[in-house]
A and B are shown apart, each in its own frame.
Chain A
Amino acid sequence: MDERSIGHFEFPILGRAYFLGGRASTSVKKALREAGVDDDTVQRVAVACYEAEMNVVLHARSGYVSVDVYPSRVDVAISDHGPGIADVTKAMTPGWSSASDEARALGFGAGMGLPNIKQQSDLMSLESEPGQGVVLRLTFYRGGGNGAGS
């Protein structure tokens, strides 16, 4: 944590706007590429970021993604204003989802989002205040972290 951030980006996420889903993550992907982050790390951040963005879109009123690039890692925080997560352990269970029927019809709500985020990232922490929102913090080590899909 003693490294100095060499790039900082923030992008807003609009809750309920299903058809804008992915805009923030696309912006993150472009910004990381422009910052010279390696393809594998960019891919892992993009996939995790999209899952987290869709959680905000599907469940919360609004949120934002904040990214800090360091020489050896990328830190991502996704914060939202929304109902929060009542039972984090349950939410982390593959296959468990509280998504609406509308969201499920679009191919979301398979209960794979948070497990997928955990798999893509090197460090993950989830803080939730029921009725207030969620803060999800992720760290991706550049170059030497988890291989995507491994």
Chain B
Amino acid sequence: MAPDRDETTVRHMAEALGLTVLAGSACLDRPIHGALVSDLLSYVMASGRAGDVWITIQTHANTVAVAALASLAAIVVAAGFEPGDDTLSRAEEEEIPLLMSSQPAYVLAGRLFELGVR
């Protein structure tokens, strides 16, 4: 499905925030409908909505399962934390864009808000 012209996509976010794409590069045109910041997986399961970007410092493979099951748009790993190979391969398998940044979660959330993601 082609995104609307003015809709923020994962690709747009990656470029604007200078994120490194680690996995799921085939799914970057997915539209972003909102965002949440949390390191508690149950909170994300309870509060995440389809199309949300999830900013976290968790790096293990369960994050990908959570994102896939909650139909999230992408995972952004903040503050320079680096996901392992098992997380990357699971993200490819589940078609979840996995991105990282050296910026802390607070800054990433602020910049995403400035981009118009509410």
Residues of A in contact with B (beta carbons under 8 Å apart) = 18-19, 21-23, 25-26, 29, 39, 43, 46-47, 49-51, 54, 106-108, 110, 112-113, 116, 119, 148-149
Which of B46, B69, B70, B71 touches A112 (beta carbons < 8 Å)? B46
Q: How does the 8 Å CB contact mask read for B60-72 relative to A, with 1 for contact and 0 for none? A: 1111111011110
A106: nearest residue on chain B (CB-CB)?
Answer: B60
Contact A25 B42 (CB under 8 A): no
Question: What's the minimum C-beta distance from B7 to chain A, rounded to whole angstroms?
Answer: 19
Contact A51 B45 (CB under 8 A): yes
The prevalent SS among residues of B at the interface is: helix
Q: Within residues 81 to 112 of chain B, which ones have a CB less than 8 A from any CB in chain A?
A: 86, 94
Residues of B in contact with A (beta carbons under 8 Å apart) = 39-43, 45-47, 49-50, 56, 58, 60-66, 68-71, 86, 94
Question: What's the minimum C-beta distance from B92 to chain A, rounded to whole angstroms?
Answer: 14
Chain B residues with Cβ below 8 Å from A26 are 65, 68-69, 94
A43-B50, A119-B46, A149-B47 given; A107·B69 CB < 8 A? no
A50-B45, A113-B42 given; A22·B66 CB < 8 A? yes
Which of A18, A23, A51 touches B42 (beta carbons < 8 Å)? A51
